[in-house]
Chains A and B, each alone.
Chain A
Amino acid sequence: MGSAQLEVLLQTLISGLLLGGLYALIGLGMTLIMGVMKIINLAHGELMMVGMYIAFWMFTLFGVDPYLSVFIAGPVLFFLGIAIQKFLVNPVLKVDSILPENQVILTVGIGMVLSSAATIAFKSDYRSTPVSYGTSAFYLSDIWKGSPIELSLSIPWSVSFVFALAITGALWFFLQKTDMGKSIRATSQDLDAALLMGVNVQRMRVVTFGLGSGLVGAAGCLFIPIYYLYPALGGQFTLIAFVITILGGLGSNVGAILGGLILGLFESLTATYVGMGWAPVGRFLIFIAALLFLPGGVASLLRRRTFGK
């Protein structure tokens, strides 16, 4: 392998990893909601769009750095999620219907209302936050003058990645160490058992939906410095979130992180070595492969190993 090929490979791996970290954060919100409530939330991407608009307006009006908006958009989306769950999702889950999937229409409707409201309020203009460090990067040749290859590491991408890791870490801590986190995990793993153990399942559901929304809102803030924003942007991220959720294993947080990273790497490698037009096919092929051969997702592999010993 010549140095040129090596450069392409390494650069591809770097981008894949960074992209994967961000994907993971989108997937985390989805996996929480799907794990606890067993519903398919097609408004997930639209919630992310709302988070991005918050970051955008905070930046434009008050000059707040998008990364700081994580602490604004997160809580706002948390409460929005709680409201959606309490007033819309719960009434639908309660009633008896032939197919439980009718909640899907509900989330489609919510998504339509959110993106349409954004169009009315903010016009359909494309927006972004032109932060000063938008295209800065670290270069290998700046550090190591004689380097035979040139690699670059984008600053905003790296910062977003680090933020994503930090948020994920905080979530992990919350779910593992706090009582409420444990109750959420219990509800996710076995609803009936959780009920028997005296977990307030209703409340856990509300909190989970809020938490999932808050996470994806935060993800929106991390995306806007490197991406852009318009009202109809949600759909594609909803799909990505699904892929990660299934790849990682429903309800598993570690799984979602690994799923995100795998997806990011896989997409980047497909883009380089097969063709970028095929990258989305690759995305869905590993999705179906995961559904078939790894029904529990990556998480089941991890579990098997720990139990095996």
Chain B
Amino acid sequence: MRCPTLVLRAAFAVSICGASLLQGADPLNLSIPLPLTGGQAKFGEMMKRSYEMATDEINAKGGVKGRKVILAFEDSQAKADSARAIVEKLIDVKKQPIIIGEYTSACAKAVAAVANERKTPYLIVASADDAITQQNYKYVFRQNVPNAYYAQGLVSFFKDVVKPQSIAILFESSDFGTSGAADMEKHAQRMGMKVVLKEKYEKGAVDFKPILSKVKQAAPDVIFMVSYVMDASLLMKQLKELRVDAKLFAGGAAGFALPEFVDNAKDAAEYVVTATLWTPQVKYKGAKEYADKYKAKFGDFPSYHGASAYSAMYVVQDVLTRAKSLSQEDITAAMKKTDLQTAYGHIKFEDRDGYQNQCFSETFVLQVQKGEHQTVWPATYANQKYLFPIPKWRDRK
């Protein structure tokens, strides 16, 4: 009688073992909504590549709890209702317990609302609008700092080095541009800087010269611009053409921080500083490896969008490993306790200054020197000394 029980038990044990082994082999499917067509596709593509790079690395090291991660991407075309449709599908049909991704603030807002209603954790990677993490959403986490903090590093650079008396602010008419400009205006008032001009332009404008000649007449110490990449290069090119001189040309992250900015603006980009959330030279562990690998594969350094997406996969791996189960509540609880060093910096979600589940990290200042973005501020992170004062256009060769 003993024998059969033993056999049975053994068989049972084997079957459990087999089941868990099978479960281990069961891949973990994650779908990510992104803009892959339309005007924002550039950023969607950079993030897609970075998600894939991180996933390949994670899988090579054994995946998440032994499960292989399989990524899929869905094109939201930067449209809010498409983004919402995708996320509803992921939550309902695919039963995906965690949502990552999206790029534009408008889409992130649509996704955040759904995720919170459906009690599904949502990790925002690169959407800047301050309001998203000010809604008391319990399930929405943001890895990048909100727009109001983008320029912090830049502002300290102003205070310590440039000491400007006046500033002109040019910004694109979008969520990102408007809030970036408003935040800079507040900083300026706090520092006693006079805002001599604050002007909005329609994204994709061909000719900035009328507005720039007005800037020239106002003669501000600093010209601060919040723009996407090609508007940024056009602005700098046309500033050069008109020989509008200022103590400093500064960009508010986004377009100015991309390598394409330098590629397109060429010598007009020289000496321009920009705020950024991440640089390939930061001393975070894995940052340099990621940046070099990306450059080797795709030909250019990634900007913070890519780094954030890359690190987000590691955050997901960490959270899913720590979570007691793959239920939404457990994942959210694990997410809240995240304390992880990534290539993007230290990820920790805090409730502070009116934000919830917000990761606060240092921001940097880049300067274009000899056709390359170099980290110049804060001094502890700098790999090159900043060049200031900058020469006038007329005196450049």
Residues on A lying within 8 angstroms of B by beta carbon are 4-5, 7-8, 11-12, 14-16, 18-19, 22, 115-116, 119, 123-126, 128, 130, 134-135, 137, 139, 150, 152, 154, 223, 226-228, 230-233, 236, 267-269, 271-272, 275-277, 279-280
Scan B196-218; emit 1 where CB is below 8 A from any A CB, else 0. Answer: 00011110111111110110110
User: Across the two chains, which residue of chain A brings its CB closest to B237?
Assistant: A135
Most buried by A among B202, B209, B230, B263: B209
CA distance A227 to B266 in the complex (A): 14
| Closest-CB distance, A198 to chain B (whole angstroms) | 44
Establish whether residues B233 and A228, one from each chain, have CB atoms under 8 Å apart when the complex forms: yes
**B205 partner residues in chain A, CB cutoff 8 A:** 276, 279
Given that A276-B201, A276-B205, A280-B202 are known contacts, is A126 also in contact with B210, CB under 8 Å in the complex?
Answer: no
**B45 partner residues in chain A, CB cutoff 8 A:** 123-125
CA distance A5 to B230 in the complex (A): 29
Given that A230-B42, A231-B41, A232-B38 are known contacts, is A275 also in contact with B199, CB under 8 Å in the complex?
Answer: yes
Sample of 10 A–B contacts (CB below 8 Å): A5-B217, A12-B213, A15-B210, A16-B210, A119-B41, A125-B260, A135-B268, A228-B234, A231-B41, A236-B204
Establish whether residues A228 and B210, one from each chain, have CB atoms under 8 Å apart when the complex forms: no
Asked if B324 is an interface residue, CB under 8 A from chain A, the answer is: no
Establish whether residues B237 and A232, one from each chain, have CB atoms under 8 Å apart when the complex forms: no
**A267 partner residues in chain B, CB cutoff 8 A:** 207
Establish whether residues B206 and A226, one from each chain, have CB atoms under 8 Å apart when the complex forms: yes
CA distance A275 to B215 in the complex (A): 12
Residue of A16, A128, A154, A277 touching B241 (CB-CB under 8 A): A154
User: Across the two chains, which residue of chain A brings its CB closest to B255?
Assistant: A126
Establish whether residues A276 and B42, one from each chain, have CB atoms under 8 Å apart when the complex forms: no
User: Across the two chains, which residue of chain B brings its CB closest to A136?
Assistant: B241
Establish whether residues A124 and B37, one from each chain, have CB atoms under 8 Å apart when the complex forms: yes
Establish whether residues A271 and B211, one from each chain, have CB atoms under 8 Å apart when the complex forms: yes
Given that A12-B213, A126-B229 are known contacts, is A135 also in contact with B240, CB under 8 Å in the complex?
Answer: yes
Establish whether residues A277 and B202, one from each chain, have CB atoms under 8 Å apart when the complex forms: yes
Establish whether residues A8 and B213, one from each chain, have CB atoms under 8 Å apart when the complex forms: yes
B156-204 contacts to A, CB under 8 A, are 173, 199-202, 204
CA distance A286 to B53 in the complex (A): 51
**B39 partner residues in chain A, CB cutoff 8 A:** 230, 232
Establish whether residues B264 and A11, one from each chain, have CB atoms under 8 Å apart when the complex forms: no
CA distance A227 to B211 in the complex (A): 17
**B216 partner residues in chain A, CB cutoff 8 A:** 7-8
Establish whether residues B217 and A7, one from each chain, have CB atoms under 8 Å apart when the complex forms: yes
Establish whether residues B42 and A268, one from each chain, have CB atoms under 8 Å apart when the complex forms: no
**A231 partner residues in chain B, CB cutoff 8 A:** 37, 41
Scan B224-247; emit 1 where CB is below 8 A from any A CB, else 0. Answer: 000001100110011011110000
Taking chain A's interface residues, is the majority helix, strand, or loop, or is none over half, making it mixed? helix
Asked if B350 is an interface residue, CB under 8 A from chain A, the answer is: no
**A7 partner residues in chain B, CB cutoff 8 A:** 213, 216-217
CA distance A150 to B209 in the complex (A): 14
Asked if B267 is an interface residue, CB under 8 A from chain A, the answer is: yes
Taking chain B's interface residues, is the majority helix, strand, or loop, or is none over half, making it mixed? helix
Residue of A116, A128, A236 touching B233 (CB-CB under 8 A): A128
User: Across the two chains, which residue of chain A brings its CB closest to B207?
Assistant: A19
CA distance A267 to B205 in the complex (A): 11
CA distance A21 to B104 in the complex (A): 35
CA distance A139 to B234 in the complex (A): 19
Given A125-B260, A236-B204, 16 other A-B residues pairs in contact with their CB atoms under 8 A: A11-B242, A15-B207, A15-B210, A18-B207, A22-B206, A124-B36, A124-B42, A130-B263, A135-B268, A152-B241, A231-B37, A232-B37, A232-B38, A271-B201, A276-B201, A276-B211
**A236 partner residues in chain B, CB cutoff 8 A:** 204
**B233 partner residues in chain A, CB cutoff 8 A:** 128, 228
**A11 partner residues in chain B, CB cutoff 8 A:** 209-210, 213, 242
**B36 partner residues in chain A, CB cutoff 8 A:** 124
Residue of A19, A126, A232 touching B206 (CB-CB under 8 A): A19
User: Across the two chains, which residue of chain A brings its CB closest to B215?
Assistant: A8
Establish whether residues A135 and B241, one from each chain, have CB atoms under 8 Å apart when the complex forms: yes
CA distance A69 to B39 in the complex (A): 25
Establish whether residues A8 and B217, one from each chain, have CB atoms under 8 Å apart when the complex forms: yes
Establish whether residues A134 and B229, one from each chain, have CB atoms under 8 Å apart when the complex forms: no
| Closest-CB distance, A262 to chain B (whole angstroms) | 15
CA distance A275 to B169 in the complex (A): 13
| Closest-CB distance, B111 to chain A (whole angstroms) | 21
User: Across the two chains, which residue of chain B brings its CB closest to A10?
Assistant: B213
**A226 partner residues in chain B, CB cutoff 8 A:** 206
Given that A11-B213, A228-B234, A272-B214 are known contacts, is A134 also in contact with B200, CB under 8 Å in the complex?
Answer: no
**B208 partner residues in chain A, CB cutoff 8 A:** 276
CA distance A126 to B44 in the complex (A): 13
Given that A126-B229, A135-B240, A227-B234 are known contacts, is A277 also in contact with B213, CB under 8 Å in the complex?
Answer: no
Residue of A16, A22, A134, A268 touching B266 (CB-CB under 8 A): A134
| Closest-CB distance, A119 to chain B (whole angstroms) | 6
Establish whether residues B241 and A276, one from each chain, have CB atoms under 8 Å apart when the complex forms: no
**B37 partner residues in chain A, CB cutoff 8 A:** 115-116, 119, 124, 231-232
User: Across the two chains, which residue of chain A brings its CB closest to B228?
Assistant: A126
CA distance A16 to B230 in the complex (A): 21
| Closest-CB distance, A271 to chain B (whole angstroms) | 4
| Closest-CB distance, A269 to chain B (whole angstroms) | 7
Residue of B41, B202, B230, B268 touching A128 (CB-CB under 8 A): B230
Establish whether residues A126 and B230, one from each chain, have CB atoms under 8 Å apart when the complex forms: yes
CA distance A124 to B37 in the complex (A): 7
**B264 partner residues in chain A, CB cutoff 8 A:** 126, 128, 130, 228
CA distance A128 to B229 in the complex (A): 12
Establish whether residues B202 and A276, one from each chain, have CB atoms under 8 Å apart when the complex forms: yes
8 tightest Cβ-Cβ pairs between the two chains A and B: A124-B41, A277-B200, A271-B210, A15-B209, A272-B210, A11-B213, A276-B201, A228-B230
Establish whether residues B207 and A277, one from each chain, have CB atoms under 8 Å apart when the complex forms: no
Residue of A123, A152, A230 touching B243 (CB-CB under 8 A): A152
